[in-house]
């Protein structure tokens, strides 16, 4: 038992060890990352808000306790006010959905009113809490203003207090604008008011509800201030506080200074400062009626108008909340002392410079240059940080400062780029597309959101916007992934800087204060003790006492720690530092005079105050990144939904969808955007994140999710289509011949041919994060592309089935393009094997499948079209269509559901022009395409079917051969006849067929033509197969052991060569051997009987074929008196039947062993020889009316054809022997008049 337990324990240790080893491995994707980093769980180093409301300031013991408490109260109201902003911005009317029925009974109507009241009560409670909240905010602001305006308290005014007031005022401004635009508030309240009047007497708290209702009615529909009720109430209340304008002027000047010096990092901080300026000026400006105490904000000397006017001109439109925009001049025009003549100086007419500021194309070059300069340095720094081991010592502080600055520069760049995007977006919202542009586009639209978004962006602007979004998200992704590596350096840097300032930088002022016994020493010691980290927790008391100016700058020694200050420590430290060096702040007068701090001390504090601005943002790393890269505003349209009274817009109006569609459909070499498609989808991630974490509204997330589900399917489809089209285009260009490619080259310069890497980027993504889901984009694209291969091959098969056999060349080129495209895409996508795809489409695999679609179509074309209607030419080895052919019209392929074109437009045009040259005939190139199409499996099936076709045709000709035997009279070979007599004799013999109305062409000649065409096709098929095999073996010859003999005997050379070519010519030999077996059908018909000694007999096949050959090319019409005259007016037999007729006869004669007999006893040859003797004889015989010249010429050409095919058969056919063949000697003497010489006739076996 103990051994078993120990074994189990050891096994457990092994498992734990191996699991630990496996945890060290990370599965890294090989594809490039084109999406911002997404995490399932968000972790932040520091909260972005003061969750404890500065309650820890008590332990820090500073003089700013009262100011800290007041600031904490206002910031708490700001946090609470964000909830009301969420409520108002996402407020949807419930009263519209509640039915209104008037024709009900009293009981049913009372029940409906009660249910309506219960439904609307939560909505009214939200409005009630909002009203009470704004009252508390106004009360808090009035109390702060009253305290700050008092002369004794005014000396303690600080920047932090002013910032809190600015935040609270900006919050009230947003709430005021949201209340004004939300008609849903008044709609629900009106329905609630009507129901409450009916139910008031029946409710237990009906009177209190009626009083609250009256108060809410005054809040929502105030007769005095129809708009901006909250700020107008605040303005009226501030007028009752003396010297309030002094505090507001100080706040205004501080905000202007922060804007000019760029003392902001977050987006909302920048726009909060800008939005506060017109509101503060409105609050400062007095009424026109009170001329004594009234302050004219435009003429007061305490206010510098020049920087204000420059800011108003630079930012005429400012983002406010979501798709809500604020026009600065509209707020300023509400001031009592506003004059219309001041409009131009305050940015009333935006000039080119302002329009360029809000135009993304004008800023694109700057942003792209910043991105190109910053990203390499960031990547190099992050590589160093991740590679080298972090050491917690003071020596690392210098490198930590470099890392921290690098990160903070990234924050600033993100803030700048995102501001450019949002400012351009809100400029478009406030400047919709003009009606003239809509007319030029031939569109009609009055929809405000459609005019502001859909028709307001040019293609270039969309491309620039996508590119800037990709730069924002790529930088955000790198900084997010680097957080774990750079966090120690950031904390080390902040701790080191604080210790350098508190323990070293404050020593000289402390020394002078101690030496001069100034009261400033106590604030300096408080500042020193606020953040100092003393060695062994013991504060040195005498370090500043024994300091000497000759010692110079003090370098304190402190323990290196990876820790930053608390939120309260950092805020108090910066507030106290600014209070000491800022000349406008009166805090320093209370404690010390101007001589207590020297110039270098003030410069040191100013430098530290500016440098410490980044500390809180570096510590709040995640919050800063999220805020500066949030582009969710591009999706939200609650303001325009309320404005148009619609529930939701169509997806075509969504800017995120417009961007994604533009990325896929508009591709230019100057702006490659396809790899930015996932960065564009991050706008949905930002919007969904805001709907859940910030707005806390599930219905918004559901709307985003529904749109993403729709758009993602469209994106996958479009990306798959464009990727597939691109690769087919590239492969199609490869298959354009060089001469045609030169002609196509000018077209290719204009064509948009992007780099292949662009399409490799999106299809290699396997972990795509969309709304918290991980989607394998590679798998989805592979699925769609796989279907495109099936669709295109099916289209090619249908097009082949609807065309003649000459289109097989186009089909094979298309298949080759698809195959090579499959090879290229198979490197990136998991596709079905190409063999499986093409066999499935071809329907060649199955339990009942005999042959594929391509094989059956090729066989049908050969049997029903090529062999009957085409004429074979043995010299060119081509099948040419006859002019008398009746080609069956085939249906055209149906219109495809999408562009099935394998080639793109330029190469398709060239390839069609090239293939037109091969559509008027069937030749070797077509046969090679057939071989490549059918493969090694289809060729035997095709050959077998063709041989069966030959057998059927031969069997059909037996009846006609019997009739010819019976109708043809015995032939007399008496050579004493002259040429005229021989022609007369032949004409008399053929008159039997003419008068009987027998035309051998439609049946007999056509049947033998089809047999001959089939045999020629099989022989050409064999030749092409041999050539392809030879070409393959020659290419592989250097890799084989076979070597051609060089210095050997002739026999060994022949043996080696025969061994090399032994595998060739197998198909033709086998087919001809099978044809030899088919001659047995003629033996059965007794046509084979060889009456060799009876020359007058006509039962021998060579006699029959001699007769057919004689009548071939002669007129067969009854009205023609001279049947031996070749038919020259009509279509000739050579053109109609070609060489296929001769091949059929030559093959049959060859396998019957009657080649020599045919040469000796052929009627046409005999007449040709007689004519030759007549020409050579001194006695010229008059031919009379017979046209023998053309006849002799025609038959001489036929003899050449017979000789050529007999020679081919002797080479290709297998040796055959016949038992009936006899050796005989013809007569030894001859008659000169007959022109017959001694002929030794002996059938020679073929070799």
Q: Tell me, what's the pLDDT at 7?
A: 45
Q: Tell me, what's the pLDDT at 1174?
A: 66
The 3-state secondary structure of 969-985 reads CCCCCCCCCCHHHHHHH
Classify each residue of 895-924 as buried b or exposed e, where b means 16 or more C-beta atoms within 10 Å of its C-beta: eeeeebbbbbebbeebbeebeeebbebbbe
Per-residue confidence at 664, pLDDT binned at 50, 70, 90? confident
Average pLDDT of span 1080-1084: 58
For the chain, state the CA radius of gyration: 50
Q: Residue 432, Cα to own-chain centre: how many angstroms?
A: 30
Q: Tell me, what's the pLDDT at 403?
A: 94
pLDDT of 790 over the 80 cut: yes
Q: Tell me, what's the pLDDT at 204?
A: 85
Contact 1008, 1047 (CB under 8 A): no
pLDDT of 318 over the 90 cut: yes
d(CA 1193, CA 105): 114
Q: How far is CA 924 from CA 871, 876, 1021, 1024, 1096, in A?
A: 15, 9, 8, 7, 44
Q: Tell me, what's the pLDDT at 896?
A: 45
Q: Higher pLDDT residue, 152 or 373?
A: 373
Name the range with the highest mean pLDDT among 284-293, 622-631, 1010-1019.
622-631
Residue 253: CB atoms within 10 A of its CB come to 18
DSSP 654: -
pLDDT of 1015 over the 70 cut: yes
Three-state secondary-structure class, residue 291:
coil
Three-state secondary-structure class, residue 878:
strand
Classify each residue of 68-82 as buried b or exposed e, where b means 16 or more C-beta atoms within 10 Å of its C-beta: bebbbbbbebbeebe
Tokens of 785: 């592309």
- Interior CA angle at 275 toward 272 and 277, to 5°? 115
Q: Higher pLDDT residue, 4 or 1040?
A: 1040
- DSSP code string of 1113-1130: TB---TT-S-TTSB--SS
Contact 772, 684 (CB under 8 A): no
Average pLDDT of span 30-47: 62
The DSSP element (H or E) to which 989 belongs, if any, is helix 979-995
Q: Higher pLDDT residue, 590 or 1174?
A: 1174
In the block, which residue shows the tokens 């890392």? 403
Average pLDDT of span 729-736: 78
d(CA 884, CA 869): 8
Q: Tell me, what's the pLDDT at 411?
A: 95
- List, for residues 1098-1133, the tens digit of each pLDDT value: 567 777 787 777 777 765 444 444 444 454 445 677
d(CA 999, CA 684): 82
pLDDT of 937 over the 70 cut: yes
Q: Tell me, what's the pLDDT at 898?
A: 43
- DSSP code string of 527-544: HHHHH---GGG---SSTT
Average pLDDT of span 339-367: 88
Q: Tell me, what's the pLDDT at 1018?
A: 85
User: Who's near 805: CB < 8 A, 6+ residues apart?
Assistant: 858, 861, 862, 865, 866, 922, 926
Average pLDDT of span 234-254: 89
Please state, rounded to an integer, the average pLDDT across all residues of the chain: 78
Tokens of 1000: 């051998």
Of the candidates 263, 243, 482, the residue with the CA atom closest to the CA atom of residue 375: 482
Per-residue confidence at 487, pLDDT binned at 50, 70, 90? very high
Average pLDDT of span 97-121: 79
Q: Higher pLDDT residue, 663 or 122?
A: 122
d(CA 444, CA 455): 11
User: Who's near 681: CB < 8 A, 6+ residues apart?
Assistant: 35, 656, 660, 708, 711, 712, 715, 770
- List, for residues 887-913, the tens digit of each pLDDT value: 444 444 444 444 444 555 445 555 666
pLDDT of 6 over the 90 cut: no
DSSP 455: T
Three-state secondary-structure class, residue 683:
helix
Residue 870 pairs in a beta bridge with: 881
Contact 614, 570 (CB under 8 A): no
Classify each residue of 233-248 as buried b or exposed e, where b means 16 or more C-beta atoms within 10 Å of its C-beta: bbbeebbebeebbbbb
Residue 713: CB atoms within 10 A of its CB come to 12
Of the candidates 535, 594, 610, 533, the residue with the CA atom closest to the CA atom of residue 566: 533
DSSP β-ladder status, 878-881 and 870-873: antiparallel
Strand runs labelled E in 185-322? 317-321
d(CA 562, CA 559): 10
Burial class (CB in 10 A: 0-12, 13-18, 19+), 251: buried
């Amino acid at each position: 038992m103990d051994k078993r337990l120990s074994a189990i324990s050891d096994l457990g240790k092994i498992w734990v060890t191996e699991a630990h080893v496996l945890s060290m491995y990370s599965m890294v994707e090989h594809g490039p990352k084109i999406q911002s980093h997404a995490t399932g769980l968000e972790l932040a180093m520091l909260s972005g808000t003061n969750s404890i409301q500065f309650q820890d300031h008590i332990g820090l013991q500073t003089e700013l306790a009262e100011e800290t408490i007041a600031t904490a109260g206002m910031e708490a109201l700001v946090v609470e006010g964000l909830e009301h902003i969420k409520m108002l911005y996402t407020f949807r009317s419930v009263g519209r959905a509640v039915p209104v029925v008037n024709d009900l009974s009293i009981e049913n109507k009372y029940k409906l009113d009660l249910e309506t009241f219960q439904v609307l009560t939560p909505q009214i409670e939200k409005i009630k809490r909002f009203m009470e909240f704004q009252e508390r905010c106004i009360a808090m602001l009035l109390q702060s203003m009253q305290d700050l305006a008092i002369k004794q308290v005014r000396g303690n005014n600080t920047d932090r207090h002013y910032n809190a007031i600015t935040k609270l005022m900006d919050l009230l401004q947003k709430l005021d604008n949201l209340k004004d635009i939300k008609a849903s508030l008044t709609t629900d309240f009106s329905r609630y008011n009507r129901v409450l009047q009916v139910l008031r007497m029946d409710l237990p708290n009906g009177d209190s509800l009626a009083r609250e209702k009256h108060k809410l009615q005054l809040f929502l529909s105030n007769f005095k201030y129809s708009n901006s009720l909250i700020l107008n109430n605040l303005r009226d209340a501030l007028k009752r506080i003396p010297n309030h304008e002094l505090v507001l002027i100080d706040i205004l000047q501080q905000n202007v200074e922060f804007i000019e010096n760029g003392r902001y990092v977050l987006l909302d901080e920048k726009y909060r400062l800008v939005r506060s300026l017109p509101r503060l000026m409105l609050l400062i400006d007095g009424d026109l009626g009170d001329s004594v105490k009234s302050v004219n904000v435009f003429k007061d000397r305490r206010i510098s108008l020049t920087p204000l006017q420059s800011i108003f001109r630079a930012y005429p439109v400012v983002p406010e909340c979501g798709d809500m925009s604020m026009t600065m001049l509209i707020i300023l025009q509400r001031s009592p002392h506003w004059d219309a003549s001041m409009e131009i100086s305050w940015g009333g007419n935006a000039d080119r410079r302002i329009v360029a500021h809000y135009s993304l194309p004008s800023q694109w070059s700057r942003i792209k240059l910043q991105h190109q300069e910053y990203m390499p340095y960031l990547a190099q720094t992050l590589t160093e940080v991740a590679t080298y081991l972090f050491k917690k010592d003071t020596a690392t502080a210098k490198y930590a400062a470099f890392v921290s600055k690098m990160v903070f520069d990234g924050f600033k760049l993100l803030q700048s780029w995102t501001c450019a995007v949002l400012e351009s977006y809100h400029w478009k919202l406030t400047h919709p597309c003009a009606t003239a542009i809509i007319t030029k586009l031939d569109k009609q639209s009055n929809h405000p959101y459609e005019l502001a978004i859909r028709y307001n962006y040019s293609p270039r602007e969309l491309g620039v916007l996508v590119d800037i979004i990709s730069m924002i998200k790529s930088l955000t992704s790198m900084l997010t992934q680097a957080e774990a590596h750079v966090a120690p350096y950031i904390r080390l840097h902040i701790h080191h800087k604080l210790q350098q300032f508190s323990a070293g930088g404050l020593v000289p002022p402390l020394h002078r204060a101690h030496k001069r016994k100034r009261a400033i020493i106590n604030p300096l010691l408080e500042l020193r003790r606020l953040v100092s980290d003393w060695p062994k927790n013991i504060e040195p008391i005498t370090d500043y006492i024994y300091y000497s100016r000759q010692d110079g700058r003090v370098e304190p020694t402190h323990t290196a720690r990876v820790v930053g200050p608390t939120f309260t420590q950092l805020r108090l430290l910066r507030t106290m530092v600014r209070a000491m060096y800022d000349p406008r702040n009166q805090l320093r007068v209370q404690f010390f005079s101007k001589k207590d701090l020297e110039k270098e001390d003030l410069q040191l504090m100013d430098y530290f105050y500016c440098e410490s601005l980044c500390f809180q943002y570096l510590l709040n790393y995640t919050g800063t990144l999220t805020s500066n890269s949030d582009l969710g505003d591009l999706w939200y349209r609650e303001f325009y939904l309320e404005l148009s009274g619609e529930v939701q817009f169509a997806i075509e109006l969504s800017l995120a969808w417009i961007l994604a569609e533009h990325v896929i459909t508009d591709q230019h070499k100057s702006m490659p955007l396809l790899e930015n498609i996932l960065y564009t989808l991050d706008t949905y991630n930002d919007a969904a994140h805001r709907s859940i974490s910030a707005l806390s509204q599930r219905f918004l997330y559901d709307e985003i999710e529904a749109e993403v589900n729709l758009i993602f399917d469209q994106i996958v489809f479009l990306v798959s289509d464009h990727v597939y089209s691109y690769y087919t285009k590239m492969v199609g260009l490869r298959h354009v011949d060089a001469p045609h490619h030169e002609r196509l080259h000018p077209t290719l310069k204009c064509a948009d041919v992007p780099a292949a890497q662009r399409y490799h980027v999106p299809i290699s993504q396997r972990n795509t994060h969309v709304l918290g889901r991980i989607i394998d984009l590679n798998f989805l694209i592979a699925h769609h592309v796989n279907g495109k291969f099936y669709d295109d091959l099916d289209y090619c098969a249908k097009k082949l089935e609807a065309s003649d056999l000459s289109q097989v060349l186009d089909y094979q080129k298309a298949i080759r393009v698809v195959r090579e495209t499959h090879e290229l895409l198979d490197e990136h996508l998991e596709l079905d094997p190409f063999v499986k795809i093409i066999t499935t489409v071809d329907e060649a695999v199955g339990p009942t499948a005999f042959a594929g679609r391509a094989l059956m179509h090729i066989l049908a074309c050969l049997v029903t079209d090529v062999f009957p209607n085409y004429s074979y030419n043995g010299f060119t080895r081509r099948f040419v269509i006859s002019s008398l052919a009746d080609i069956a019209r085939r249906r055209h392929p149906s219109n495809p559901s999408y562009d099935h074109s394998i080639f793109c437009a330029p190469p398709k045009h060239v390839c069609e022009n090239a293939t037109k040259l091969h559509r008027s005939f069937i030749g070797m190139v077509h046969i090679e395409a057939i071989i490549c199409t059918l493969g090694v499996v289809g060729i035997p099936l095709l050959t077998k079917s063709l041989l069966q076709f030959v057998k059927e045709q031969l069997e059909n000709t037996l009846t006609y051969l019997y009739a010819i035997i019976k109708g043809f009279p015995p032939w007399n070979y008496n050579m004493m006849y002259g040429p005229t007599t021989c022609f007369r004799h032949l004409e008399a013999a053929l008159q039997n067929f003419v008068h009987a109305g027998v035309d051998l062409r439609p049946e007999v000649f056509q049947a033998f033509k089809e047999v001959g065409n089939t045999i020629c096709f099989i022989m050409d098929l064999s030749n092409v197969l041999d050539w392809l095999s030879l070409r393959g073996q020659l290419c592989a010859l250097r890799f084989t052991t076979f070597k051609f003999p060089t210095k050997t005997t002739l026999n060994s050379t022949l043996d080696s060569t025969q061994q090399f070519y032994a595998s060739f010519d197998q198909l033709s030999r086998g087919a001809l051997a099978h044809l030899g077996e088919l001659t047995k059908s003629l033996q059965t018909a007794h046509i084979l009987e060889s009456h060799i000694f009876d020359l007058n007999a006509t039962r021998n096949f060579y006699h029959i074929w001699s007769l057919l050959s004689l009548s071939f090319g002669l007129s067969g019409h009854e009205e023609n008196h001279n049947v031996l005259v070749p038919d020259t007016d009509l279509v000739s037999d050579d053109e109609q039947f070609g060489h296929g007729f001769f091949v059929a006869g030559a093959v049959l004669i060859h396998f019957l062993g009657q080649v020599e007999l045919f040469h000796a006893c052929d009627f046409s040859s005999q007449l040709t020889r007689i004519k030759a003797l007549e020409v050579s004889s001194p006695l010229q015989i008059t031919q009379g009316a017979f046209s023998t010249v053309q006849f002799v010429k025609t038959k001489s050409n036929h003899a050449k054809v017979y000789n050529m095919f007999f020679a081919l058969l002797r080479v290709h056919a297998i040796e055959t022997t016949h038992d009936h063949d006899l050796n005989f000697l013809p007569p030894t003497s001859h008659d000169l008049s007959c022109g017959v010489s001694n002929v030794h006739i002996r059938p020679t076996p073929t070799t």
